């Protein structure tokens, strides 16, 4: 919406620290479960100083979510209708899994928002997200009709990719508990497994 170029380097540094701290707290406890004192402590600032940079708890949360959806949908946007179908979809899976590995807190922040009924990004889901998915689903349906991939419901295929990749970020604790300490990095196993899964699903 509004361009927000922080004037000074102090502003830049502190706003970054606040958003970083807020990401940690919001992603773990949800909006209502998070407290400004906790965010302030995590950011190394006093609570009034927090509110010097952001007008309210809501504003911090909104800033976080706004920046999130863009980067979150980028991997899907990059799905190329002109590319090789299976390689394109596998590429999307890999990019999405990499995001789960590299930005698990962002994934959990998003999960929290949806779990609570998407009170703040509901409209964006109905609008921007739906239209992007519809567009890419049409591409996949085209591949399907042309016999270049096996017959598959494009919408549920996309849901499958989301579910399978985000699971490793959102349920990280459970995954590690079940695998135990001696079975290597969960994400390595996940990548091999997901490539197998989607290859077998999509190969005609």
Partner DNA sequence: CCTGATCCTGACCGTCCGGTCAAACGTTTT
Partner DNA sequence: AAAACGTTTGACCGGACGGTCAGGATCAGG
Q: Which residues lie near DNA (CB under 7 A)?
A: 7-8, 10-11, 14, 34-38, 45-49, 51-52, 55-58
Give the pair of three-digit tokens for residue 164: 């399978």
Residue 6 vs 127, nearer CB to DNA? 6
143 binds, among DNA, its own copies, none (CB under 5 to 8 A by kind): none
Residue 77: partners with Cβ closer than 8 Å, 6 or more residues away: 132
11 binds, among its own copies, DNA, none (CB under 5 to 8 A by kind): DNA
Q: Is 160 in the site for its own copies (CB under 8 A)?
A: yes
Residue 49: partners with Cβ closer than 8 Å, 6 or more residues away: 14, 40
**Sole window of 2-10, 48-56, 88-96, 125-133 interacting with its own copies (rule: CB under 8 A):** 125-133
Q: Give me the torsion for CA of 94, 119, 57, 42, rounded to 10°.
A: -30
Tell me how far apart the alpha carbons of residues 166 and 185 are, in angstroms, rounded to a whole number: 16
C-alpha distance from residue 109 to each of 151, 153, 170 (Å): 34, 28, 9
- The residues binding its own copies (CB under 8 A) are 27-34, 108, 111-112, 114-118, 122, 125-126, 129-130, 133, 150, 152-153, 155-160, 162-164, 166-168, 170-171, 173-175, 177-180, 183, 189-190, 192-193, 196-197, 200-201
């Amino acid at each position: 919406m509004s361009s927000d170029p922080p004037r000074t380097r102090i502003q830049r540094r502190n706003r970054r620290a606040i958003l970083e701290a807020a990401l940690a707290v919001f992603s773990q406890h949800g909006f209502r479960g998070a407290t400004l004192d906790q965010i302030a402590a995590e950011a190394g600032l006093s609570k009034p100083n927090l509110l010097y940079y952001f007008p309210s708890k809501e504003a911090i949360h909104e800033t976080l979510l706004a920046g999130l959806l863009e980067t979150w949908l980028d991997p899907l946007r990059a799905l190329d209708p002109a590319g090789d179908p299976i390689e394109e979809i596998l590429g999307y899976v890999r990019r999405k899994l990499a995001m789960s590995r590299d930005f698990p807190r962002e994934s959990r922040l998003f999960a929290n928002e949806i779990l609570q009924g998407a009170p703040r990004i509901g409209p964006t889901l109905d609008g921007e997200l739906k239209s992007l998915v519809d567009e890419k689903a049409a591409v996949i349906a085209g591949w399907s009709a042309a016999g270049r991939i096996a017959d598959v419901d494009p919408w549920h295929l996309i849901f499958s990719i989301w579910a399978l990749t985000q699971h490793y970020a959102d349920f990280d604790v459970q995954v590690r508990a079940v695998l135990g300490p001696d079975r290597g990095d969960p994400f390595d196993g996940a990548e091999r497994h997901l490539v197998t899964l989607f290859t077998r699903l999509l190969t005609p």
